[in-house]
Amino acid sequence: MPPTIPDPADIKAAVDVALAEDIGTGDFTTKAVIPADTRLNLIMATRQDIVVAGLPVALEVFRRLDPDAVITVETNDGAKIPAATVIARIEGQAEALLAAERTALNFMQTLSGIATLTRTYVDKIEGTGAVLLDTRKTLPGLRALSKYATVMGGATNHRMRLDDGVLIKDNHIAVAGAVGEATRRAKAAGLKNIEVECDTLDQVAEAIEAGADSLLLDNMGPDMLVQAVDICAGRVMLEASGGVNLATIRAIAETGVDSISVGALTQAAPAVDIGLDLAD
């Protein structure tokens, strides 16, 4: 089942690091400019059309610095909302909320950016039957949250870690000497659900003969993908990957592959514009 909220341990770890790097020994500006007993009413709102992701993380930032803050959430992660929509209202101690502002927005803008781009890709392949997958191409330390954001955008998680599934890639094959030999070694080691990366149609046939359970078809154009689908004839699951973008993904999906992995979801998603302003 896909995650409906991020793992609390992942939230805690990310917030610990983010607050430490942003606050340091304290917010000298706010302490000097704003009286200590000041309270604020803030509105978090999007300034562009987005898919929301990261609310549980951002709210943890505010609660960490002001446990008594009153927070009213007006939308949910996974929601597609237009510009000017209020995401949340936060009322609390001024020094705490202002110290939390940048970190909370960084999480919201980054994760919502991933979810928003992901939804764009999902919409491109609607009706084809192909499933959009994410990859391990994530910022170090933010993998769990980034992959959570892709799910909020409508994608399906692929491998989370190296111990989460078996994928024989080109360098494994180069060292082993051939696709078939690498596959046989993995099976001899007792590994299950073995996926093999294939660059050519000859490798596709070799991987199937060696007993691969699924294939990653790397950097194949639509014509070659159609041939690979015909060769496999439904015997294994097929994942297309490599150089996929918004201009090419529909044609790839229409070849009959089962899934398409896109590194850009987590590697190249632009942050979205979300603001935190004083309530009127």
pLDDT digits 0-9 by tens, 44-79: 999 999 999 999 999 999 999 999 999 999 999 999
**For 180-244, where are the E strands, in sequence order?**
194-198, 214-218, 237-241
Q: Where in the chain is the domain with CATH 3.90.1170.20?
A: 8-122+269-278
> Which residue positions in the chain have pLDDT lower than 70?
1-4
Residue 133 vs residues 122, 157, 219, 247: alpha-carbon distances, Å: 10, 6, 16, 17
User: What top-level class would CATH report for the domain 128-267?
Assistant: alpha beta
Give the sign of the dihedral formed by CA 212, CA 213, CA 218, CA 223.
Answer: positive
Q: Where in the chain is the domain with CATH 3.20.20.70?
A: 128-267
Pairwise CA distance, residues 109 & 112, whole Å: 5
Q: Which two tokens stand for residue 271?
A: 């942050």
Q: Which two tokens stand for residue 255?
A: 């070849």
- Which residues are tagged catalytic? 102, 137, 169, 197, 218
pLDDT value for 81: 98
Question: pTM here?
Answer: 0.95
- Is 8-122+269-278 a domain of CATH 3.90.1170.20? yes
pLDDT value for 1: 45
pLDDT value for 3: 57
How crowded is residue 84: how many other Cβ atoms within 10 Å of its Cβ? 10
Percent over 90 (pLDDT), the chain = 97
pLDDT value for 5: 79
Interval 5-56: pLDDT, tens: 789 999 999 999 999 999 999 999 999 999 999 999 999 999 999 999 999 9
pLDDT value for 210: 96
